Amino acid sequence: MNIMSLTAVELGKKIKQKEISVEEAVIAALDSIEAKDEAVGSFVTVCRDKAMEDAREIQGKIDRGELDGPLAGVPVAIKDNMCTEGILTTCSSKILSNFNPAYTAEAVLNLQKAGAVIIGKTNMDEFAMGSTTETSAIKITKNPWNQEHVPGGSSGGSCAAVAAEECHYALGSDTGGSIRQPSSFCGVTGIKPTYGTVSRYGLIAYGSSLDQIGPVAKDVTDCATILEAISSYDAKDSTSVKRENYDFTSALVDDVKGLKIGIPKAYFEDGLDSEVKAAVLNAAKVLEKKGAIVEEFDLGLVNFAIPAYYVIASAEASSNLARFDGVKYGYRTSEYEGLHNMYKKSRSEGFGPEVKRRIMLGSFVLSSGYYDAYYLKALKTKALIKKEFDKAFEKYDVILGPAAPTTAPKLGESLKDPIKMYLGDIYTVSVNLAGLPGISLPCGVSSQGLPIGLQLIGDCFKENNIIRAAYSFEKSMTYNRCDMAKQFD
């Protein structure tokens, strides 16, 4: 049996039933990374010894009955912008290339309490700024389906690792689509939860009002199970929300009868690839056949989401990244004259071009004289976008559309034209602006052999509607594995 072909929940069951030991599972993951990662490049750090040590400890806890959750003993990969005590956390940036956190992010801690074994940290766009994982200062990650293409981003390493079956599941983070878009490009499933559901404590901040951690896995069942494990109210995150409901797995029901699904017309206009369009509309038909009520509607302000997003995200980034100054941790330039020059040189040498671009833009839109015209204007636009969604969710339980306008582009094409790359975020950024939950799951494969993703968006705190719809749709599909994943079959 190929242990790596199992879903996280399937593996968890086999570990519980003593068919597979935690050590066997971890060895399988490490062997898979060893065999594939030179070609894929998902990982920036592999925790070989620590993972083996943890495997034995967790096996002991399972044997003694101290751990019996669905994820106990299952290996996980963590995006490298989540702090992990004693494990290098780089944000795929030179400025944090030697950073060893003294504490672990709350979401990761929650997973560890559930018995997860961290096998490594995954590559990402530097500070999560990018849509292809190509802005990483460490390495290039390739799409496991076709290594001439990007995995998407910024959680490209996490999604590629799951698709290539180098790990059973992973955590990603999503500020403007960074879980959903690479999930779509790599043919895996990912959830961006309602803002405030998963603690941001220990997540290295990019756009604090938009950032959320979420699961990346092979299927909806895994994602709901992982989300249940990582969600918690956390006083250490001042925007953490005390939810009434943290039960997501009860929504894993194959039944969409009466579920009202709205399709925004604007999501299917210019710029959408015809194959993506066909696959996504086909998914809508499948759900309709299963009893959902599907109709088109006008969602307003779709074209204002990207400019508003880039103003807000860059403004927050310029402020959040002010902490990287070469004093307390991270990279410090070797030669400098005085404190001020040390700050400037450390930052200029430590940050890559895309990060600098966003810090500059953010500093500009927040500067005196421009603050009202750009930053406040964007926050007002955000309020109007939120209103548009509120209106839509008075009528619909779920909004259905693509996760990205195309399948994965070729390596080396996207960074040449940043604005064009930003436009690829059209279906994802408004979800972050409005704080909504969204899921991306595979709905087909293009004629070129690249996966296509379906996005389902729910109202705030209504993850269960999108989980139910996604689960029902998934039941009509077979999970497509890339050739690289099948290597050990």
Residues annotated as catalytic are: 79, 154, 178
Cβ distance to other proteins smaller for residue 38 or 102: 102
Considering only residues 283 to 312 of the shown chain, the ones binding other proteins according to CB under 8 A are 301, 303-304, 306-308, 310-311
Cβ distance to other proteins smaller for residue 37 or 388: 388
Taking CB under 8 A as the rule, does residue 327 contact other proteins?
Answer: yes
CB of 90 to other proteins, least distance (A): 12
Stretch that binds other proteins, among 112-120, 397-405, 414-422, 444-452 (CB under 8 A): 414-422
Taking CB under 8 A as the rule, does residue 65 contact other proteins?
Answer: no
- Per residue, the 3-state secondary structure of the chain, as one string, reads CCHHHCCHHHHHHHHHCCCCCHHHHHHHHHHHHHHHHHHHCCEEEECHHHHHHHHHHHHHHHHCCCCCCCCCCCEEEEECCECECCECCCCCCHHHCCCCCCCCCHHHHHHHHCCCEEEEEECCCHHHCCCCCCCCCCCCCCECCECCECCCCCCHHHHHHHHCCCCCEEEEEECCCCCHHHHHHHCCEEEECCCCCCCCCCECCCCCCCCEEEEEECCHHHHHHHHHHHCCCCCCCCCCCCCCCCCCHHHCCCCCCCCEEEEEHHHHCCCCCHHHHHHHHHHHHHHHHCCCEEEEECCCCHHHHHHHHHHHHHHHHHHHHHHCCCCCCCCCCCCCCHHHHHHHHHHHHHCCHHHHHHHHHHHHHHCCCCHHHHHHHHHHHHHHHHHHHHHHHHHCCEEEEECCCCCCCECCCCCCCHHHHHHCCCCCHHHHHCCCCEEEEEEEECCCCCEEEEEEEECCCCHHHHHHHHHHHHCCCCCCCCHHHHHHC
Q: Which token pair is 220?
A: 């909806």
Taking CB under 8 A as the rule, does residue 328 contact other proteins?
Answer: yes
Taking CB under 8 A as the rule, does residue 476 contact other proteins?
Answer: no
Q: Which token pair is 231?
A: 């969600």
Is the peptide bond between 154 and the residue preceding it cis, with omega within 30 degrees of 0?
A: yes
Q: Which of 162, 141, 163, 138 is nearest to 152 (CA)?
A: 141
Considering only residues 77 to 106 of the shown chain, the ones binding other proteins according to CB under 8 A are 98-100, 102-103
Cβ distance to other proteins smaller for residue 378 or 441: 378
Cβ distance to other proteins smaller for residue 253 or 360: 360
Q: Residue 156 in contact with residue 182, Cβ under 8 Å?
A: yes
CB of 265 to other proteins, least distance (A): 19
Taking CB under 8 A as the rule, does residue 245 contact other proteins?
Answer: no
What is the separation, in whole angstroms, between the first and last Cα of the chain? 7
Cβ distance to other proteins smaller for residue 60 or 86: 86
Stretch that binds other proteins, among 15-23, 157-165, 340-348, 437-445 (CB under 8 A): 340-348
**Interface mask toward other proteins for 158-197; x: CB under 8 A:** -------------------------------------xx-
Q: Given candidates 186, 359, 403, 470, which one binds other proteins under the rule CB under 8 A?
A: 359
**Interface mask toward other proteins for 369-398; x: CB under 8 A:** -----x-xxxxxxxxx-x------------
Taking CB under 8 A as the rule, does residue 318 contact other proteins?
Answer: yes
Relative to beta strand 260-264, strand 169-174 is: unpaired
Stretch that binds other proteins, among 59-67, 129-137, 291-299, 355-363 (CB under 8 A): 355-363
Taking CB under 8 A as the rule, does residue 325 contact other proteins?
Answer: yes
Q: Given candidates 43, 127, 206, 351, which one binds other proteins under the rule CB under 8 A?
A: 351
CA distance 231 to 227: 6
Considering only residues 108 to 147 of the shown chain, the ones binding other proteins according to CB under 8 A are none
Q: How big is the site for other proteins, counted in residues (CB under 8 A)?
A: 70
CB of 247 to other proteins, least distance (A): 20
Q: Which token pair is 8?
A: 């996280």
Cβ distance to other proteins smaller for residue 427 or 471: 427
Taking CB under 8 A as the rule, does residue 343 contact other proteins?
Answer: yes
CB of 173 to other proteins, least distance (A): 17
Cβ distance to other proteins smaller for residue 1 or 360: 360
Cβ distance to other proteins smaller for residue 209 or 282: 209
CA distance 404 to 427: 6
CB of 227 to other proteins, least distance (A): 19
Taking CB under 8 A as the rule, does residue 405 contact other proteins?
Answer: no
Cβ distance to other proteins smaller for residue 257 or 328: 328
* Binding residues for other proteins (CB under 8 A): 98-100, 102-103, 195-196, 209, 235, 238-239, 241, 301, 303-304, 306-308, 310-311, 318, 322, 325-332, 336-339, 342-345, 347-348, 351, 353, 356-357, 359-367, 374, 376-384, 386, 418-419, 422, 434-435, 460
